[in-house]
Amino acid sequence: MTERRVLLVIGGGIAAYKSLELIRLLAKSGVRTRAIVTNAASHFVTPLSVGSLTEDKVYGDLFSLTDEAEMGHIQLSRSADLVVVAPATADLMAKVAHGLANDLASTALLATDKPVLMAPAMNVRMWLNAATQRNRARLAADGVQFIGPDDGAMACGEFGPGRMAEPQAIHDAILAFYDQRAIGQPLAGRKVLVTAGPTLEQIDPVRFISNRSSGKQGFAIAEALARLGAHVRLVSGPVALADPFGVDIVRVESAEQMLAACEAALPADAAVCVAAVADWRPESTASKKIKKGADGPPPISLSENPDILATLSKKKSKRPRLVVGFAAETNDVEAHAKQKLAKKGCDWIVANDVSGDVMGGDSNQVMIIRADGVERWPEMAKTAVAGKLAAEIAAALA
């Protein structure tokens, strides 16, 4: 096997300390890292500690005069299989989105012909700022892949999206990149339908029934399938996630709309139902806001929603060749998932234990249940689960 090499651009943010752990994890997996430390980053991590871990020279503007003699920025930007930016600051994202090249990091990012993976890290307001979101969308459209940011407490004392993905998750995404590169585009010419997110069932114009599904796992699966060459139609309920790159997305609200959008996507070679479809919807939706009255809370009678997974699995015509369902359980995961496989009529169930913080979180531990047995996967990032599942789907359709 040829040596695997990553060029790591460390941007100037407090999360830069986590990039040291990333280098260590990559080294343990046999991936060599060469690092560019921006001037701002060198206030957070010293080039000496980075270089001790990479066992290589560290590149930065402070040394660029001699480096240009030894290795130019063009060669540096292409000396790796993948360029990883962690932490990707708002400033670095903005520079790359606009093609600026006024320091070594941005010059290397502009000059590279290799895939780029960014792990953004910044204050929540900076992340949610329209300019950053515009840059993120621009970069995604240009083919940059993203991991994170995660939700959580931030160094600045605020709370929300902006924390850099954990080093383990970035490491897993990098290994998934190598796995995918090894298998190429086996799904070219195939069409796959993916459902994701919660559904929203309207009670009246302002109230609804829904659930806490974030859509992260479904979006990651859609993206992973697209990377393997599939034409992916992603039907998503309301989520706070940007359109994934290279995926044809249809956004819906209710379960009935989701089912209609799925039917419209057929024929498909495979369907992966990740959505947390609401089991019930209000029998009727009030056309005006229900008033708070003296009689206490109004009764809301519910009707059963269509089961999209079961409907697709039991179709007489146009049934996708492979139908995959998900099962979120809090106890007796395997037994319940086996029952679900039979009841829904699908081919595989991906079961996970949601008694922890899987919903909305970034990692997942799953087992794959098929008629002929159970496969247990270790805990990994949702993006890594997506990559591995996409590879198995490709193998099943081959």
Footprint on this chain of ligand C5P (rule: CB under 6 A): 195, 255, 273-275, 277, 305, 307-309, 325-327, 340
Q: CB–CB of 8/119 below 8 Å?
A: no
Give CA–CA dist 285/63, Å, rounded. Answer: 66
Nearer to ligand C5P, 314 or 376 (CB): 314
Tokens 């209710």 belong to: 254
Helical residues (DSSP H) of the chain, grouped into ranges: 16-28, 47-54, 64-70, 73-78, 90-98, 104-111, 124-128, 130-141, 167-183, 216-227, 255-265, 308-313, 333-344, 382-397
Give CA–CA dist 325/330, Å, rounded. Answer: 17
In angstroms, what is the C-alpha Rg of the chain? 23
Nearer to ligand C5P, 101 or 260 (CB): 260
Nearer to ligand C5P, 81 or 307 (CB): 307
Q: What is the crossing angle of helices 382-397 and 216-227, to 10°?
A: 50
Q: How far is the CB of 171 from ligand C5P (least distance, A)?
A: 28
Nearer to ligand C5P, 146 or 326 (CB): 326
Q: How far is the CB of 332 from ligand C5P (least distance, A)?
A: 13
Q: How far is the CB of 379 from ligand C5P (least distance, A)?
A: 20
Two tokens at 385? 């689960």
Two tokens at 79? 């000396």
Q: How far is the CB of 350 from ligand C5P (least distance, A)?
A: 8
The answer to whether residue 262 is catalytic is no
Helical residues (DSSP H) of 322-377, grouped into ranges: 333-344
Q: How far is the CB of 259 from ligand C5P (least distance, A)?
A: 8
Two tokens at 202? 């309207």
Q: How far is the CB of 251 from ligand C5P (least distance, A)?
A: 16
Nearer to ligand C5P, 173 or 255 (CB): 255
Q: What are phi and psi of 238, to 5 degrees?
A: -65, 115
Nearer to ligand C5P, 153 or 264 (CB): 264
Tokens 């009707």 belong to: 303
**Residue-wise burial string across 297-322, b where 16 or more C-beta atoms lie within 10 A, e elsewhere:** eeebeeeebebbbbbbbeeeeebbeb
Task: Please tell me which residue in 156, 262, 273, 346 is annotated as part of the active site.
Answer: 156
Q: CB–CB of 136/101 below 8 Å?
A: no
Question: Which residue number is nearest to ligand C5P in terms of Cβ?
Answer: 308
Q: How far is the CB of 173 from ligand C5P (least distance, A)?
A: 24
* DSSP-assigned letters across all residues of 35-83: EEE-TTGGGTS-HHHHHHHHTS-EE-GGGHHHHHHHS-HHHHHHSSSEE
Nearer to ligand C5P, 255 or 391 (CB): 255
Q: CB–CB of 325/348 below 8 Å?
A: yes
Nearer to ligand C5P, 67 or 201 (CB): 201
How many residues in the chain?
Answer: 398
Q: How far is the CB of 353 from ligand C5P (least distance, A)?
A: 13
Give CA–CA dist 103/116, Å, rounded. Answer: 18
Catalytically active residues are 156
